[in-house]
Structure 1
Amino acid sequence: MKSSRLVSVLLLLQTRGRMTAAQLAEELEVSVRTVYRDVEALSAAGVPLYGDAGHAGGYRLLDGYRTRLTGLTAGEAEALFLAGAPGAAAQLGLGSPLAAARLKIRAALPPELRVHADRISGRFHLDAPGWYAGADDTPFLPAVADAVWRGRAVHVLYRRWREPTDGERRLEPHGLVLKAGRWYVVAGPGPRTYRVDRILRLSATDEEFARPEDFDLAGYWESYQRDFHRRLRTDRAVVRLAPGVTLPGAAQDESAPEADGWRRVTVRIESVDHAHAEFLRLGTGIEVLEPPELRARIARTAAELAARYGGAGAPRDGR
């Protein structure tokens, strides 16, 4: 709706300062011509909004102008309380400020919206870690977060998964990411990604660093994940799957079902070791065709299991 869009233009200029018509159009997903009309409507309504020409031009509000518009729709109030992550905030040392902020926002809401917010809080709960993974020990997370806020470099002793395992590094923390209950810090030079729970020692510094102005944490993380999965599964296996059996990960190629309902599938695997354990979970619902070393290893394991369980007598301990 136009009224909602006008409010968005006003709030964008209030929070971000000078913005060009093209920037406003991209943010609001409308045409530049629509932005021009919206700006004219705001000016006609008495909003002190000015446009500057030139390369560094754009629209801006009169210095010191702040709208007192604080209205929230029911959906916005619900989304605000649904977005709360008290566990993550507590790990960052922000548990009390978050609780206080939510309390203040709730008190400022009109009664009907307060009911919506309470309903969301009582019916949805965010629990990020996986079922079978214990919480990581991250004693240096608050210090890393502080370095991110302040734009200061840190010196760490970091443990890698391969040799040489422990090494000292100077990091320029650009941002923190919480993925499946595990904290990662994206830091320069690079930037590169580090697990916070693998930091063994940390020394804070007052050394400032220049965070790239065009660095986009969300965009970096999306690209990092794509590259990670691409590097993780570089080998391939050809298997036959029983009806109804599926494999994790996207199949490279899949044939039409055969007469008995089985399907021939080509799938990416991380390694023979990893695929051996992964495929064994499917029991008799899978037959490995390629690579030969994986098929032979599955066959040896099956033979060992048959020898162990194939006898009709009692278990070896006599029970």
Structure 2
Amino acid sequence: MKSSRLVSILLLLQTRGRLTAAQLAEELEVSVRTVYRDVEALGAAGVPLYGDAGHAGGYRLLDGYRTRLTGLTAGEAEALFLAGVPGPAAELGLGSTLAAAQLKVRAALPGELREHADRVSGRFHLDAPGWYARAEETPYLTAVADAVWNGRVLDVRYRRWREPTDVERRLEPYGLVLKAGRWYVVAGPGPRTFRVDQILGLTVSDEEFTRPGDFDLAAYWTAYQRDFHERLHPGEAVVRIAPTTLANAFEGRAVTVDGAPDGDGLVRATVPVESPAHAHDEFLRLGTAVEVLEPPELRARIAGTVAELARRYA
């Protein structure tokens, strides 16, 4: 811990210039006395650091003393600071690690690249969850992440949607995925996908496992999402629909469009749907921006609802 703290003091002074012992103590969450000892240790190690007394005093490094990373372009520096999402990192127990890493990178960047990185972090903020998504509590996320990293088997009590809801599972965790603010663990045998927030209890086993050498987490997740959508929307509906509505309402589905817009500005499209009842509600919400052509039973069902609405509001 001390060596890490000494590096942090060095990098803070390198990036911010003069800092008082109190400011360093607050930044590092230690006592002022600890900062005094650390500064003495840095001086004894040959770091050209000196302190000024008085109201405007503080510690600073000798001008020109710094370390630099070489080979980074402006775009790479910007990407480094855009890629670090603090929320998910904190959930994994890596919040302080991420902050320390960014500090080290920033300290080593030449002035021009540091300016680029600061501009990105000040102008772009990544917020993964959707607007109406309730934050899910994931008390076992850190333990799952540790098991993923160290190749440890997990014995979990898991809640699924179908009966029996609460089941016992032995998992060989291959990787973690964050999707729309929700964490999933991909685990063998299988592999299969489990929601981390549905883990009710967890024991880390002493048993180790070997992750398959040919397993590609990104490729698995892409295929899993494709299969999920195919299972979720097994039916089809043919509709006349406004192009903008089609793009916004059915994003992510394998929609096919037949021809150019007609005289009303609508296109003919085939849309994957979940079930007649779900499709009925889904298309009604779109109002006059869509007309269902097929299947006949769905069209008749919507026509009946519209007729009833007209009668009520007449």
Q: 1:204 to 1:252 in 2, by over 3 A?
A: same
Is the contact between residue 145 and residue 176 of structure 2 (CA under 8 Å) also seen in structure 1?
yes
Alignment match, 1:156: 156
The separation in 2 between residues aligned to 1:244 and 1:107, in whole angstroms, is 47
Farther-moved stretch of structure 1 (274-283 vs 145-154): 274-283
The separation in 2 between residues aligned to 1:264 and 1:215, in whole angstroms, is 41
Measure how far apart 1:216 and its partner are.
1.1
Alignment match, 1:194: 194
3-state SS in 2 of match to 1:119: helix
Q: 1:162 to 1:124 in 2, by over 3 A?
A: same
Is the contact between residue 157 and residue 167 of structure 1 (CA under 8 Å) also seen in structure 2?
yes
Alignment of 1:167 with 2:171, yes or no, is no
The separation in 1 between residues aligned to 2:284 and 2:297, in whole angstroms, is 15
Letter in 1 for 2:232: L
Gaps of 5+ in 2: 1-67
Letter in 2 for 1:301: T
The separation in 1 between residues aligned to 2:243 and 2:134, in whole angstroms, is 35
The separation in 1 between residues aligned to 2:297 and 2:241, in whole angstroms, is 19
The separation in 2 between residues aligned to 1:127 and 1:224, in whole angstroms, is 23
Given the alignment, which residue of 260, 265, 287 partners 2:291? Answer: 287
3-state SS in 2 of match to 1:183: strand
Alignment match, 1:236: 236
Alignment of 1:92 with 2:98, yes or no, is no
Alignment match, 2:217: 217
Residue correspondence of structure 1 range 262-301 to structure 2 within 5 A: 262-301=266-305
The separation in 2 between residues aligned to 1:217 and 1:304, in whole angstroms, is 50
Q: How high is the TM-score relative to the length of structure 1?
A: 0.71
Measure how far apart 1:190 and its partner are.
0.5
Gaps of 5+ in 1: 1-67, 311-319
Given the alignment, which residue of 274, 287, 302 partners 2:306? Answer: 302
Q: How many residues are aligned here?
A: 243
The separation in 1 between residues aligned to 2:264 and 2:73, in whole angstroms, is 57
The separation in 2 between residues aligned to 1:120 and 1:257, in whole angstroms, is 41
3-state SS in 2 of match to 1:266: strand
Q: 1:100 to 1:262 in 2, by over 3 A?
A: closer
Is the contact between residue 252 and residue 268 of structure 1 (CA under 8 Å) also seen in structure 2?
no
The separation in 1 between residues aligned to 2:92 and 2:264, in whole angstroms, is 56
Alignment match, 1:41: none
Q: 1:306 to 1:69 in 2, by over 3 A?
A: closer
Measure how far apart 1:255 and its partner are.
4.0
Letter in 1 for 2:186: V
Q: How high is the TM-score relative to the length of structure 2?
A: 0.72
Whose relative contact order is higher, 1 or 2, with alpha carbons under 8 Å and at least 6 apart?
2
3-state SS in 2 of match to 1:127: coil
Alignment match, 1:62: none
CA deviations 1:189-226 (Å, max 9, x no partner) are 01111111111111111110111111111111112122
Measure how far apart 1:303 and its partner are.
2.9
The separation in 2 between residues aligned to 1:211 and 1:170, in whole angstroms, is 15
Residue identity over aligned pairs, in percent, reads: 73
Residue correspondence of structure 1 range 136-151 to structure 2 within 5 A: 136-151=136-151
3-state SS in 1 of match to 2:207: strand
